[in-house]
Structure 1
Amino acid sequence: MKNYKFIISTIFLTALFHSCTTNSTVKELKQGNWRGEITIQQKQLPFNFNVSKSNDDYKIVLHDGDNPIEIDEIEVRNDSVFFTMHIFDIDVKAKILENTIEGTYTKNYAEDYILAFKATYNKESRLDNAKAETDFNGKWSFKFDEDPAEKKKIAVFKTEDGILKGTLLTPTGDYRFLEGTSDDGAFKLYAFDGNHMYIFEGKLTDNETLTGEYWSGKTAYKTFTATRDENATLPDASTLTYLKDGYDKIEFSFPGLNGTQVTLEDEKYQDKVVILQLLGSWCPNCMDETKFLTKWYDQNKDRGVEIIGLAYELKDDFEYAKGRVSKMKKRLNVNYDFVIAGTSDVGNASKSLPMLNKVMSFPTSIIIDKNGKVRTIHTGFNGPATGDYYDEYVLEFNHLLDELLSE
């Protein structure tokens, strides 16, 4: 009887040891094209990405209009994949199945912000049978129905490669790359940059007017109306934010990423043109502007110009904010300076710079001449998705900076 118990115990311990020391099979994440879908408000937001692998390192490229977004913080463990959405504090966790991955999309900085995520392998297009058979091309005067009359926007649509594309311009920035399909007098347009997610569905009520619905994230929902208008305009971006009466310069003291206080009185910024960029690492429009300023600064930094990024982050925690901004700085190869200026609430941001009438948008850029005088304040940013508007901004920016640097 004792021998029998000994044999049973030996078998049990051997099996237990084997189960604790044998690694589970690690599944491969298939390389190639995928179509992802995130469920927002019971609707599917489609987007495309590509997976590649070099040695043991995976890379994901998220297709965001003409702006590919690289994701390289990826781990495949056992039967699941885990990755972080570019510079954002957002994680995807998904189980690897035969030709799909299924799991969750989580915004770590927001409370209870978890959405269903699914992706299907070997799907190259955003939509099956996408087309652009109804003519929405051109400019439209656009307004969310709940907004006051003065808060009009401009929708710009174009047909490209048989797909309807466009964006929505506002006084504080654009909705970046919209892409979708149109047929039988109606359209569906989608945008996803890793953080912000938009769905627009509209239909013509006559040839000059359209109405529709808009969904964003977990809860935002609005209806809209738009009319064809090639002469639609927005307020001058250089008139919205300005110095209050009684102030003639910008003053601040904010900690840099190394913790040392930074001011405009520091020797580094004396007798130079200085650009202040009010931004947040969470803000895709800010990412567009940062890419533009990074390239411009690298080409012009020897001409007597400096840029300081005043970062307004999602949490009132210096170490958290420092980590987010440092990651953005590294990922986008930014060589100019950053300080942690406060939190992303525009009311708090306005208090941090009391000489301004208000901070109404991230990004906002303040351009200061060599004598410390504010020469212009530009609210918002027209990014690459806006086409001619972006090109016009670049020309105006370069003209002004050339003028200031030659003074």
Structure 2
Amino acid sequence: MHDIRAIRENPAAFDAALARRGLAPLSDRILSLDADRRARIVAAETAQADQNRASKDVGAAKARGDDAEFDRLRTLVAEKKADIAKLQAEASLLDGRLRDLLMEIPNLPLDSVPDGRNEADNVELRRWGSPRAFDFTPVEHFDIAGVKPGMDFETAAKLSGSRFVVLKGGVARIHRALAQFMLDLHVDRHGLQETWTPVLVLENMMVGTGQLPKFGEDSYLTREGYWLIPTSEVTLTNTVHGDLVDHATLPRRMVAHSQCFRSEAGSAGRDTTGMLRQHQFEKVEMVSITDADTGPAEHDRMTRCAEAVLEALDLPYRTIVLCTGDMGFGARITHDIEVWLPGQDKYREISSVSYCGDFQARRMNTRYRSDKTGKPEFVHTLNGSGLAVGRTLIAVLENGQQADGSVSLPAALHPYLGGATRLDADGRLA
């Protein structure tokens, strides 16, 4: 959410930042609501002062035996009481409208974010590794002979419909191994705290991280009123919801492996084959809670943590910075990491690492007491995939595929697979 004081102080800068997002100016509308709300508050305070004075004078008039003045003052007290209730109700209504408006406005991009309208305007930062030269035509993951016995879309469709998969045998074990490997790497090498959280959350948790109110159609709501998390960014970030955090404990760096649920609203016709885009999937998610001074550096650190997973698995990737028109709702800057998929002959997103500044903290009302000023200030939050497990499975299978339908597996996974080094053409680990 946005700081109304910053908008009051520099509405032109606010509108200019929105324009970089491709949005129309909103400061006039925001400030008009804000002015109306503040006017009601001032008027209510004035009426309260008038009521207090009149209440005191009532007693004095009664003591003097001035019945006419006594009746006039009693009437005035009642009128002021009614005025106060009316003004407070109007101020509350305007406050709600202002909050609702601010809740639906995306975060403002950093100056360093490139301008652009869509993904064609994203800027590549670096590449690592070289795509493998195949002596045969590589296929997508679901067409690899050794993968087919362990990746069952027909049974999944019978159970749950489209955009689900049942993993079996060697493929299921590789999937599990990948999640375990990622967690160990982030905990042992990168110093993140392993965390396990629920996948069902209260509505205000989704509001806190920005999934609600604007993007409710992207997630699933249960009959009991719980929301299924689209990523454990929601739960990890909200562990500090409403807290005054000890500055000495920052940065807090967490990692969690969880099931994730997305309706994929708006993705009809996109990635309908294979398991690239699913309603239910697994991610290893990283979240950092930090302060304003260290937020940007933490963003670079978190990006490197995600890149390290791909490097350890020997998977070629490129890292890009998203342009203003392609960034997510809550981000001030986002690095996307795209892994090479030879079956598609292109790089595809496998991680998004975003720095949100104090945008989520304002929604969560989460602060720390600054060592410099001694005053409470909003924390800064970051989140990033480290990595999407299913997409990493796809990348491992496609990059390691062999002409005979088997798959050569990365050395980093061998200890997690009981020493197996390959998935044979029959779908067994060997």
* TM-score of the two chains, using structure 2 as the length reference: 0.23
Q: Which has the higher strand share?
A: 1
Q: Which has the higher helix share?
A: 2
Q: Greater CA radius of gyration, 1 or 2?
A: 2
